Chains A and B, each alone.
Chain A
Amino acid sequence: MEQTISFTINDEQRTMVIHPGQSLLELIREDLGLTGAKQGCGVGECGACAVLVNGQAVDSCLYLAAWADGKTVVTVEGLSQYGELTNMQKAFVEGGAVQCGFCTPGIIMTATEMEARDRNYTEADIKRALSGHLCRCTGYTKIVEATKKGLENVGKCSCDHE
């Protein structure tokens, strides 16, 4: 009952033997040792496990590893080189948007997806995009502000300023 998949993970081409029931989250965390994505619920309710699959943020706990065959997966570990943060990561650090940090990798992935898209975002768009992520520490205020800042830095935010 095993299956072989080939996919790109953080710029690396990998071929792996998986079980058909295995989630992408389990594959990256347990088999690849990429522990940045977190499990907060395991059933698609919290967003802590989000990674990019072909540029789109998905809850990797609900995404079968088998579906990643032929796709490009990016986890939080694949965003920046050691010692250098991406624009979005910097915005979160500087904006005080990180507390316990358990929700952070997932949220960063969604914010990174937004940053990469060829469009502009209003505050309502940002909130809608982030609404699949739960955070119990921050009350979201600084997370929304940091995402805005990150998008603004690349000219993709059309939010009003108070």
Chain B
Amino acid sequence: MSFNVIGKPVQRGDAAAKVTGRALYTRDMKMPGMLYAKILRAEIAHGYVKSYDISEAEKLPGVVKIVLPKDVKANPWPSAGHPYSLNPAHQDIADRQILNEKIRLFGDEIGAVVAKDELTAEKAVKLIKVAYEALPFVLDAEEAMKEGAPILHGDETNILRHTDIKHGKEELSTAFSKCDYILEQEFDVTPVQHAHLENHIAYAYVDPEDRLTIVTSTQIAHIVRRVVAHALNLPFGKVRVIQPYIGGGFGNKQDVVIEPMAAMLSLACNGRPVMVDLTREEVFYGSRTRHGIRFKFKTGVSKDGRLLAKSMVSIGNNGAYASHGHSIVAKGGTNFSRTYPAELATEWNGYTVYTNTATAGAMRGYGIPQVNFAVECHMDDLADDIGMDPIEFKQKNVMKLGFVDPVSGIEIKSCGLPECIEKGKAYIDWDNKRKEYLNQKGDKRKGVGFALFSYATAVWPFSMELAGARLTMNQDGSLQLTVGAAEIGQGSDTVFAQMAAEVMGVPFSMVNVVRGTDTDIHPYDPGAYASRQTYVAGQAVRQAAESVRDQVCARAAKKYDIDVKDVEIRDAKIYRVSAGRLLCTLEQLAMESFYEKDESSTIASEKSANVKSNALAFGVCVTEVEVDVKTGKVNILKICNIHDSGTIINPILASGQVEGGMSMSCGLALSEGLKYDPKTGQMLTDNLLDYKLPTVLDTPHFDVDFVEPYDVTGPFGNKALGEPPAVPPAAAIRNAIKHATGVRVFATPMNPQSLFEAFREAGLN
């Protein structure tokens, strides 16, 4: 496939606005008469508010409104950024109240103060006296499943959902009886946080036409509109949501976290603009986290390394509220059952469990970073145990081109995994280093590690996939592109403009993107998640551009009285192909379309694409580490992700995505983790000092490579890229630590403290 604009490293369209400080984020916009809110948060992890005393707070000058749960009239709402389901059985759990009398986590929202400025609101919150009735609380998911555990919702169980998937030719127990070797292991992935640099922030007001408007840092403007409308009993058309520039989301803003609060507070203050700007601490405990998940494996193989039978139990800690519910643990289950198909039997049991910790939701990779860490470590150990090279073992058993996923029905139509593996081995000098680093002594030891992954693009067939795009031609032949898909820093706007320019036959600079998302302006698209945008919204952009191109060609054919098939647009000029002759410029034609007296019509198209396919992206991570067995410190010497995401639309943006994802996975592997005080249930790591987000000094140089098989289901042969990079590094690092030291680690983060202890147990230090 040869392209002119696609595949080129064009500079992102918004970069200049961002380096000059001219890009406006939510907090950068102020309205006359703006009020500021602060949330009153619970200081127990589980229980009830018995009473409030607001007498002191009320007296504070500048306080406009104090709102308590009894004052709020709203429907319970689901916070997940999922497309709506018309089937009530598939709808998200509507367990959120804007303010709560029952407390389910330390920091739960139990009241709010609106004041003329933030300081006053904060002072007033501190003046409110709350009496609690405390209940016992539970922080660990497996504990929460036990008989007698404190129950968060209802009175029966903390298990939000359990799924049990079985497939294969034989019963699991029969299959295990045929195995030559069986390995049972348990892994724990500790919850981490997105830590996007811009905290959650939104403001709401009622506009002069009585429409509720919410300006918010979100990945899912159209979903926010639906959820707020439902929560506050308003017609959809009376709610408008605007997403300006956004300072990162990574899934934490694929959730309706604060918008109903801002909206409710504005309505409580007569429609005046009310700003809700969370602090960093509030974002840590009060928004969403990655799920902590415990995995238990039993896997059996033949002597020659064929995978015969496997079972996995995964227990996901969902925290206090449902948010995305079971879908994250479930996505991990499908990934488990598919990536290494077992010849005889597969079984997976997944549990999503409520506990009194921060609510877990979507985070870059949606459950796959966790399951991939566990599976890739487990497979590595299996290979070691039967004396096989881990890459050889994995390559032998991983799914191949043409494989049909038994659960989702997705068929693999393109697979660059073998090439990724070869490139990875060459990059790290695998065969030599595997031998060279055997039997090291001394304090500093080196090792190499590997992990592979597969990752589904978009959410079909589990949910609907729909995206809209509008393309409008201006008088000079330049174009306005309006997409519902959300630019959240990943560069999607730039990539869509490349797609439109490619189809139209114009230079990239002629496509202007209408930035942000405004539900009044931008066509419907559920938003930025599931690495879906280039794949799904790309189809809509492609179709709209094809339509505009065809309108231009038809007009030219009519004007010059030639066959429309003989017309082509190249570099914003219109040619007659058979004669190789320039007919006119696109600008001339556009001017005529606007102003010709008898035959004027604007040239524009709006398309919505209902995509009913999915494509698997693949890739590997290889790394070489140096481990200090005396201190437990790991130094990454070299690390590279190699991706098959199909066609790469923009290599510089793509490698930027990969580097960022790798850094996130390195953080999960080596330093990040949320901790709670077992005595109170309060989060201990709710700031950027105690939470060990990698700094530039903790970060190696990330190497990135791509292989580009063309996937026929993608609009330009492209597949998922946004999330996959955050998947494989953690397991590759763990496997490299094992290669260096012989010590198997079973939990993240592998920080100096935990490794020091593991090495001590192994007698290394």
Interface size on B, residues (CB 8 A): 54
Q: Is the beta-carbon distance between B489 and A139 smaller than 8 angstroms?
A: no
Min CB–CB distance B365 → chain A (angstroms): 14
Q: Which residue of A lies closest to B700 (CB)?
A: A141
Asked if A79 is at the interface (CB within 8 A of a chain B CB), the reply is yes
A105 vs B16: C-alpha distance when bound (angstroms): 11
The 0/1 profile, CB within 8 Å of B marked 1, for residues 33-72 of chain A is 0111111111101101000000000000000000000000
A26 vs B664: C-alpha distance when bound (angstroms): 31
Q: Is the beta-carbon distance between B656 and A101 smaller than 8 angstroms?
A: no
Q: Is the beta-carbon distance between B248 and A100 smaller than 8 angstroms?
A: yes
Which residues of B, 16-33, contact A by the 8 Å Cβ criterion? Answer: 16-25, 27-28
Asked if B712 is at the interface (CB within 8 A of a chain A CB), the reply is no
A105 vs B696: C-alpha distance when bound (angstroms): 17
Interface core residue of B245, B491, B659 (most chain A CB under 10 Å): B659
A45 vs B247: C-alpha distance when bound (angstroms): 16
Min CB–CB distance B189 → chain A (angstroms): 19
A131 vs B695: C-alpha distance when bound (angstroms): 6
Q: Which residues of B contact A46 (CB under 8 A)?
A: 197, 280, 688
User: Which of A100, A105, A128 is within 8 Å of B488, CB to CB?
Assistant: A100
Interface core residue of A38, A85, A102 (most chain B CB under 10 Å): A102
Q: Is the beta-carbon distance between B660 and A45 smaller than 8 angstroms?
A: no
A140 vs B762: C-alpha distance when bound (angstroms): 35
Q: Is the beta-carbon distance between B19 and A131 smaller than 8 angstroms?
A: no
A102 vs B195: C-alpha distance when bound (angstroms): 12
Asked if B687 is at the interface (CB within 8 A of a chain A CB), the reply is yes
Min CB–CB distance A32 → chain B (angstroms): 12
Asked if B279 is at the interface (CB within 8 A of a chain A CB), the reply is yes
A93 vs B13: C-alpha distance when bound (angstroms): 10
Interface SS of chain A: helix, strand, loop or mixed?
loop
Min CB–CB distance A153 → chain B (angstroms): 15
Asked if B653 is at the interface (CB within 8 A of a chain A CB), the reply is yes
Interface size on A, residues (CB 8 A): 50
User: Which of B247, B664, B688, B701 is within 8 Å of A102, CB to CB?
Assistant: B247
The 0/1 profile, CB within 8 Å of A marked 1, for residues 75-96 of chain B is 0000000000000000000000
Asked if B174 is at the interface (CB within 8 A of a chain A CB), the reply is no
Asked if A20 is at the interface (CB within 8 A of a chain B CB), the reply is no
Asked if B662 is at the interface (CB within 8 A of a chain A CB), the reply is yes
Asked if A108 is at the interface (CB within 8 A of a chain B CB), the reply is yes
Q: Is the beta-carbon distance between B693 and A136 smaller than 8 angstroms?
A: yes
The 0/1 profile, CB within 8 Å of B marked 1, for residues 70-109 of chain A is 0000011101100001000100111010111111110010
Q: Which residues of B contact A149 (CB under 8 A)?
A: none
Q: Is the beta-carbon distance between B702 and A99 smaller than 8 angstroms?
A: no
Q: Is the beta-carbon distance between B20 and A134 smaller than 8 angstroms?
A: no
Min CB–CB distance A105 → chain B (angstroms): 5
Min CB–CB distance B752 → chain A (angstroms): 18
A48 vs B279: C-alpha distance when bound (angstroms): 14
Q: Which residue of B lies closest to A48 (CB)?
A: B197
Q: Which residue of B lies closest to A88 (CB)?
A: B19
Q: Is the beta-carbon distance between B197 and A93 smaller than 8 angstroms?
A: no
Q: Which residue of B lies closest to A137 (CB)?
A: B660
Q: Given A89-B20, A130-B696: A102 and B248 within 8 A (CB)?
A: yes
- 29 A–B contacts, CB within 8 A, in A order: A36-B20, A36-B22, A40-B280, A41-B280, A41-B687, A48-B197, A77-B20, A77-B21, A89-B19, A93-B15, A93-B19, A94-B11, A96-B653, A96-B656, A98-B14, A99-B490, A100-B489, A101-B19, A101-B489, A102-B25, A105-B21, A131-B695, A131-B696, A133-B695, A133-B696, A139-B661, A139-B662, A140-B659, A144-B696
A98-B14, A102-B196 known; 17 other A-B pairs, CB under 8 Å?
A: A35-B21, A35-B27, A38-B198, A79-B20, A85-B20, A89-B20, A92-B19, A93-B15, A99-B248, A102-B489, A108-B19, A137-B489, A139-B663, A139-B664, A140-B663, A141-B702, A142-B655
